[in-house]
Structure 1
Amino acid sequence: MYVLKLAGIKALRGLIGLIRVLSATFSSAPPAPKPSRTITLPWSKRGSQGSKIRFDVWIPSSSPSSNDTRGKWPIIVNLHGSGFCIPGHGTDARFLRFVADKVGAVVLDVDYRHAPEDPYPAALDDVHAFVQWIRSGGYLQTSILEKQQDGQPSLETSRWDRTRLALTGFSSGGNLVLTACVRLHATGGPSQLPQAVVAFYPSTNVAESPYAKPKVKPKPTKPGKEGKPAGGVIPPVVRQLFYASYLPPHVSRKDPQVSPLYADPAAFPASTTLITCEGDSLAREGEQMYEHLIGGPNKGAVHLQVPGQGHGWDHMVKPGTHAEELRQESYELAARRIREAFASST
């Protein structure tokens, strides 16, 4: 069975990789921004000798003293979308540059292990360990972060504020930032939660069969080319392959560290923001997650449903379209929520 899963995922990886190359080649959008630095570290926390972890560092354009009385940058950790299986590190570049500058925060875009080679809980283990590394100030003892290279800026890790942390994620990365909160709460209580979490079109109910999810698709939001939607539809058979590859048979799909919809609402920070897409089959469970949160003690949760767009729309917009405007609005909301959460913690 594992061989069949691996063959299916490898075929999808090849197809998606080709689509990304073609999209980048023929896109009319400006080139995506580049991170300040890409770091690869030995990572013993992965439990295998010689294991490494990679992350991109995005340094904000302004100095910390110009927009923060502490004179330090807070930290945002981002997780890319992958269906838990597809490598996608670096695909959130436009959002990462935007949020780094708009919030005035260091953004660490972390790669994590993928199924089926590394099924659950490998990805969640990576995220949890990385957050603990940040919280403990591990980056302050890591000399490679401060090594200067030609043409690369200083990362100034002494000016990173590990007491203020936000998590952001897209699709399966959205699932992982939510389940990371569940684990942080379970292992350390409310004090271990980040100040804010933002999940874009996350999978919140892996227990629900992909064939039972709503059959929706993107639809125009305005007449003409300007209103053409962006984003896609993930066929149930593909989502089923993702779920089966990610989760071993013995793992309950209703485990809160798998499906955050089943978690205690207290396991999430007051500033929890869910952004869903009307033309995405995951929109319903995202809305259910929001209702679950505000039905408990988390009255500060916010849900934005983006009209007309499909899954991953913000990565596929064309310049001059309404989809581009909607992307800007959603990114502004995410940045504002994080910025306000950091300000309230001072």
Structure 2
Amino acid sequence: MSTTFDSSAPEGAEPYLQVIAPDGTRRPCPELDQWVQDLDAPALEKLYIDMACIRRLDNEGTALQRQGELGLWAPLLGQEAAQIGSGRALEHEDFIFPSYREHGVAYCRGVDPHDLLRMWRGAAPSGWNPYEVNIANQQIVIGAQTLHAAGYAMGLKFDGSSAAAITYFGDGATSQGDVSEAMVFAASYQAPLVFFCQNNHWAISEPVSTQSVGYIADRAKGFGLATWRVDGNDVIAVMAATRAALAHVRTGSGPAFIEAVTYRMGAHTTADDPTRYRDALELEQWAAKDPLDRIAAHLDTLGTDLGELKERTATATNDMAAGLREAITTMPEPSVDDLFSNVYSHSHPWLEEQRENYADYLAGFAEETEARS
């Protein structure tokens, strides 16, 4: 059965479910342990490498934006465990509806670096074909993807599918009407949908305390959703909660809600300056809960050769960086005609008329230039 933190818990206990403490210590967690019994040391090493890869991906994305290669980038630094833990818990047929920060979830789905960067460079209105990787394109409109996910999950139920849907959003999005409406529809139709909130404590410059006077997961209870509130910097806890939530929705028991309590260590986007609204001490406190350091410390207790693991990690992250750099240098610039491509699945007379009118408009500039010369 799902659970959230009991306010009567002993003083000093974390207000969320946790499997691995920040110092790497394994803690018993009856609600989650059963869901991760298969995770041995080699499996944990893979999760560590995954998190290191998306941290490198994120660093490269920020650097590429600073170098003028990308128009914008939404950093995920600090949220690696939330994205990898949940992303690796999904089955291939499950469909994902992300926001704009889920680069790590896209990585889990095998999205090509070219496709991941295409939208952020402004080379295309969207990055990839959703049906090739079972993940929708990144959504910029806050919370809109939750309604898309609810509709898709309702379709899964009507079709009798065994697949589930999952949608990602931040703490700030829970103040949007779309998210509440999506939970109403999902609950009313008992749709197989997992709502995954990455509570990174900041909705741009607004702290989560402004967004909600209580736990965000408790909001979902009011809609009748099964809820889990977990340590979002604990990759094992996140994976366990996601597996539990998916098992719940697959049985026809209705939608589920996960609040992964994490922290956005970087800026909201590369257009943001978090030093103007965030206390450096808060940043320091969360740095001590780093998801990569935590799992490395735990692996050390299991006898893992950390030196050898870090060598393998360096190879993987360097390959990741090389792929991103290659993507930028070989990505074709969009043509004018690309503005009208893939707007509809088939040719549309109204769109073709716009294409012709715009071509005539551009041709007018060429004629004017020729006349002047």
Structure 2 length-normalised TM: 0.30
Greater Cα radius of gyration, structure 1 or 2: 2
Structure having the larger proportion of residues in strand: 1
Q: Which has the higher contact order (CA 8 A, sep 6+)?
A: 2
Query: Could you say which structure has the higher helix fraction?
Result: 2
